[in-house]
A and B are shown apart, each in its own frame.
Chain A
Amino acid sequence: MSERIEIRLAGTGGQGMILAGIVLADAAIRDGKQVVQTQSYGPEARGGASRAEIIIADGPIHYPKVLDADILLCMSQVACDRYGMMMRRGGLLIVDNNQVSRTPTAYAVQAPITQLAREKTGREITANVVALGVLVGLTGVVSRSSLEAAVRARAPKGTKDMNLEALAAGFEAAQELMQE
């Protein structure tokens, strides 16, 4: 079996976790990788738990869900409490420290994702794209150019520039985090 990278994006309904998952999967396709993206959500369109899972591999992907996340992004305290421990040893936990105050491990990468979204784009709703910038900036699971292309293709009408700014802010934050 080829190596698989398992990514889980967890948050609250309305935060755009599923759309972020779709964008990330789209980027992986553009990189020529195999990818499966699944989701899990409650009946409510806003609020409630929401998560997207993305498996990226060079070869065929059979089991489509996350077994032990290599990368976990938590955009809410509830998500972090629930999934924080469900990770591969040595996996990467990224939390939005505007939303998450307690993490199960001290190794968590803390980024002010919501705050960055508000400051750089004026809209908290772009936090999901800022998060993608942070995640990909830190891990390189997909190439930056593919991710940008995917954001361009998938951003709702009229929000393309704003989302690209959000993405750039995320990459910038990742750069700073790596220097720390």
Chain B
Amino acid sequence: MKTQPESKVHERYLRHSKKFPNVWCAGCGIGIVLGAIIRAIDSLSLDKNDVAMISGIGCTGRMPVYVDFNTMHTTHGRAIAFATGLKLARPTMKVIVVMGDGDALAIGGNHFIHAARRNIGLTAIVVNNLTYGMTGGQYSPTTPLGARASTAPYGHIEPSFRIAELAVTAGAPFVARSTVYHVAELQKYIAQAISTQGFSVVEATSYCHTTLGRINRWGRAPDMMRRLKENSVTVQQAEKMSEEEKKAKIIRGILSDRKDIPEYTELYREQIIRQAKGEKA
């Protein structure tokens, strides 16, 4: 166990050459997720040179620039595809992909499910704030039914994706969900995800008080944070609930932890390259 005070841990992983403050609003959950990622990496004693953080576009997309890893801020929705190339070129690298809900599931939804199906060794951390925050509160694939958004002034009529469940169905061997309120739990899941050989997903449920929260009069950041606490249940608690009851809840916990699916880059080396070389010889 690390005994260093938390602030010192962050200091060792933040970039001192990058000017702060960051781009996020005061009270935003993204910084909490970043803190959890940093502490998770520290708890695993990883060499910073062997860690890459790749992001797409949006508020969460701005995360990598602050941390002292190999970092890449790519195009909207495509972070997983960029990361796939990097992982194939550097299979020993720990490649962490950070995305928002719009980035990962709307424009990038195809890459998300295919990475899960392929089981390539990336860790996808989806900060789910239910909206497009950077552009001002438009509806995303996880905006709740009936909520108002800047592009849903009459109320939202599309059902949501359940990110973690989608990842399980698509084949990801490790999938967990927590919230930015449950920081210690979130950190633990992220550490487990990074330790997974294959494609791992952590959904970090968050909120956007600046856009969607304001439009819907859901209160300020502390109010929305409180709602994460009150509205979430563990997987175990959820098992005792009816489908109707579960619908309104954020279900926290590990939804999948399988060891039986081979990781892609390993499989490629063991099967494809071995066969190709055998054929050539």
A and B touch in the complex (CB under 8 A): no
